Amino acid sequence: KYVALCEVSDKPSISIYDTNSLRRRKTLGIPYDCPDVRRFTCVAFSFDNKYLAAVTDQPDQTMLFYAWDKGKVESSIKVLNPQNSAALISQVACNPGDVGLVALAGDYSFKFLTCSETIWRPYGFSKAENLLITSIAWLNTDRLLAGTEDGRILFMENGELKNIFKMTEVTLMNLKMREEFVIQPTVYNTGLEIRSLVSFPKGFAFGLGPGKVLVFEKDGQHKFINKHIFLVPRQVTKDPESTEKFYAINTINPNSSSDRLIVTTGWSQLFSAKLWTTAMMLEITPEDLGIMGQALHHGPINSLSMCAWKSIFMTSGDDDRSVRIWDYESESIVMLKQYQENIFSVALHPIGLFCLIGFTDKLRFMTISIDDLLTMQEFPIRACKIVKFSNGGHLFSAVNGNVIQIYTTIDFTNKFLLK
């Protein structure tokens, strides 16, 4: 029902918006005794939406507990770990049934906090000096899961650590099973980071490393079974080695009926997944996440051209090496053409049946068919960044180094050379 938006500045603030009216309900500032705060690291609403827990950034991390409708801080507590300068609280989760219980986690940090008469006190498990905790979520009022950077999930019940699961090896989680375990230090850069842990009535989901979402379904009171593995669809990019951040799972959210997930990643695209399919599967087969809405560009759009006679326009992507034709009346994509080489420019003919595309090696004049772009003519202009049709479409100009070449579209001869 509400959205909290944190703003970074010399005097950071939190704006609360109503999702029904899309209007700002309240703006929350920081108290006078937090003069060096520039940003918040995390925020979370209480289960009844009456309070907002917000954690300020270093050097003096503090949890501020707002009665946001009144616009004031009800209580606060310093959460900085003075023994470890690298410690940082980056996650906060309010208990789903008790306003006075909060869990905090982050790099080398974990705390359970309980509040009595506006005084917060730590309790339970807190031995996280060797752990990089990346995500936390309450399963219910007593149970909490905490994911680490190296693919482990810590299960806690009533404030105490009960078990540790290595999620690369687990298909069934039995929360009642008690095994001997040792809290091993987090291993860096394993590519198995647990991200965006989220629970819902039928189970929970999380991201495991770049590009993978795992869903566990509740089976009785204490068991969870791995039911789904979803993958972010692979994208063509200019530099594949630098794209791991684009596949990182940023957020996972279920719908109100808990039968569909919405997923965001580093790509400028929304993805969705349908849960609890009725088909019987002996083993889990990874599925690609579905694209929500139109297939958007990933990275900069380096060229755009409008059509004079039709309600279409053409764009090209610098990073994703694709050309897309859009219909702005229907607000939909008409065609997507993927290439394996860099694209520098596009130009759409006034009648919308032809186009020019500047590639690394040549400039190509192409026919636009129903579902493809077909090359009609090639011109020896490398990496052409500027190309344009005349108003009538019988000529086009293209920049070639420090000269402009003008061609006719009738016989494709070079008519003029402008220096």
> What pLDDT, in 10s, does the model give residues 245-273?
788 999 999 998 889 999 999 888 999 99
Tell me which of 87-96, 284-293, 320-329 is least confident. 284-293
Residue type at 84 in one-letter notation:
N
CA–CA dist 93, 110 (Å, integer): 11
CB 253 within 8 A of CB 261: yes
Delimit the domains of the chain by residue range. Answer: 2-291, 301-418
Taking the CA of residue 134 as centre, how many other CA atoms within 13 Å lie in the half-sphere pointing to its CB?
26
Q: What is the pTM of this model?
A: 0.86
Query: So what's the pLDDT on residue 201?
Result: 92
Euclidean distance between the first and the last CA atom of the chain, given in angstroms as a whole number? 61
State which fold the 301-418 domain adopts.
Methylamine Dehydrogenase; Chain H (2.130.10)
Residue labelled with tokens 């849960």: 275
Of the candidates 202, 302, 325, the residue with the CA atom closest to the CA atom of residue 254 = 202
Tokens of 18: 């109503």
Going by pLDDT thresholds of 50, 70 and 90, the confidence category of residue 281 is low
Of the candidates 292, 165, 273, the residue with the CA atom closest to the CA atom of residue 228 = 273
Query: So what's the pLDDT on residue 267?
Result: 86
Compute the C-alpha angle 89/53/60, nearest 5°: 40
> What pLDDT, in 10s, does the model give residues 210-230?
999 999 999 999 999 999 999
CA–CA dist 358, 344 (Å, integer): 5
Instruction: Please tell us whether the domain made up of 2-291 is placed in CATH 3.40.50.300.
Output: no
Residue labelled with tokens 């130009």: 347
2-291 and 301-418 agree in CATH topology: yes
Residue 172, pLDDT above cutoff 90: yes
Contacts 24+ apart (CB under 8 A), 169-173: 170/226, 171/225, 171/226, 171/284, 172/223, 172/224, 172/225, 172/226, 173/216, 173/223, 173/224, 173/225
Strands 203-208 and 194-200: antiparallel
